[in-house]
Amino acid sequence: MRRRPSRSGRPGPRTRTSSPRGREGLKLSRAFLDRFGGRDDRREEDGGGGPSGSPVVVGLGNPGRSYSRTRHNVGFLVVEELARRHGGSWRAKKKAEAAPVSVGPKNVTLLKPTTYMNNSGAALAGLTAQALIVVHDDLDLPVGDVRVKVGGGAGGHNGLRSIINDLGPDFTRVRIGIGRPPVGVTVTDHVLGRIDSAARDAVPGAADAVEAVVESGPEWAMNRFNARIP
């Protein structure tokens, strides 16, 4: 664009333009809002992940204070730990709370579905299974154990069942053991009971596992976190 000459005959001042870094931040913000801001039109170029096809880490749980410290909400605790580590701010969206963060060189979206556990898949419309890292409690693991897995069934977990029904099974899981219920206690009462200290203490390790999946891939993370200590 030609600059208009001033009355003195000299070129006028240049119009200030945004820096490449500023344009990149604007692009990320727009992509983030397109995905999680409640709009019906979804961008196809992001490949079914978060902004620019980035990973989406989904912590499973139930919304509300009455569920906040239950075994079933350990997935929420892990993504909250990741948000604290990486300076993420939670934003209330249509069917989830979301926090964009950077983990190493990658942009990551943290999600807490607000659709309740049994309808978790509804919060992930427009995403692909391959973009997801789902963090959840697991009855079949000893209390406090952390394991990484790709694919598989629901194992009786209603949140996983909902996601599998909507998106298929091919997502990465970070599993936190809560153990089986004792004799005389139903599974429902067990998962909705107050979280054990051992399971709560496993939250930082599960956050480490998520970071390993994001930065180095699920196979590397499985080799590190699934190894049995003699």
| Cα–Cα nearest to 97, from 83, 110, 84 | 110
In a domain, 2, yes or no: no
Give yes or no for residue 63 having a pLDDT over 70. yes
Name the catalytic one among 72, 136, 157, 190: 72
Rounded Cα distance, 148 and 221, in Å: 7
Strand 91-92 to 56-59 pairing: unpaired
Give the global pTM.
0.80
155 class by beta-carbon count within 10 Å (0-12 exposed, 13-18 middle, 19+ buried): middle
What 3-state DSSP class applies to 112? strand
In a domain, 113, yes or no: yes
Mean pLDDT of the chain: 85
Q: What is the pLDDT of residue 33?
A: 43
User: What is the Cα 133 distance to its own chain's centre?
Assistant: 6
Domain of residue 45: give its range.
20-225
Q: What is the pLDDT of residue 227?
A: 80
Give yes or no for residue 77 having a pLDDT over 80. yes
Rounded Cα distance, 27 and 52, in Å: 9
What 3-state DSSP class applies to 154? coil
Give yes or no for residue 15 having a pLDDT over 70. no
Give yes or no for residue 17 having a pLDDT over 90. no
In a domain, 4, yes or no: no
Which CATH number covers residue 77? Answer: 3.40.50.1470
In a domain, 13, yes or no: no
In a domain, 218, yes or no: yes
Rounded Cα distance, 17 and 161, in Å: 49
Count structural domains, the chain.
1
Q: Averaged over 183-203, what is the pLDDT?
A: 97
Rounded Cα distance, 117 and 171, in Å: 17
What 3-state DSSP class applies to 33? helix
Rounded Cα distance, 11 and 14, in Å: 8
Q: Averaged over 49-53, what is the pLDDT?
A: 69
Q: What is the pLDDT of residue 229?
A: 58
Per the annotation, the verdict on 157 as an active-site residue is: no
In a domain, 160, yes or no: yes
